[in-house]
Amino acid sequence: MKVSSKYIIITVLSLLLFACKTPQRVCSEDASKAVLKNYAGLDACSWIIALENGQKLEPLNLKEFDIELKDGQKIFVTYKVEPEYQSICMMGPIVRILCIEKRK
């Protein structure tokens, strides 16, 4: 049985397209309560995560998650600080989001 190269290309492209987003999952109980803030008006800033304790985080991979980016959106988030990155925005530490979900 010969497989058409067209079908192989379509399969590979489909896998690449759907593999780009991190799958949504339920955050663990230790997730931090936070709010999304749009700081795009400040030099070199974009979306910031403001934790309940007042600390601000600069996420590296926010676009990998399927969440509505709305200023003031309440969320739960788990993250890992990435100390090897430097910020131009200087709002807080650079973090890699592990889990993010809309808060009800």
Question: How do residues 56-98 score in pLDDT, each as one tens digit?
Answer: 999 999 999 999 899 999 999 999 999 999 999 999 999 999 9
Superfamily name with CATH number, domain 23-102: NigD-like N-terminal OB domain (2.40.50.500)
pLDDT, greater one: 3 or 26: 26
DSSP assignment of 59-92? ES-GGGS-----TT-EEEEEEEE-TT---SS-SS
Q: Give 28's DSSP letter.
A: P
- Sequence-distant (6+) residues with CB within 8 A of 44 are 87, 88, 89
Q: Compute the residue count for the chain.
A: 104
pTM of the predicted model, to two decimals? 0.73
> pLDDT for 14-37, tens place per residue?
655 555 554 455 788 889 999 999
**Given a cut of 90, is residue 7 above it in pLDDT?**
no
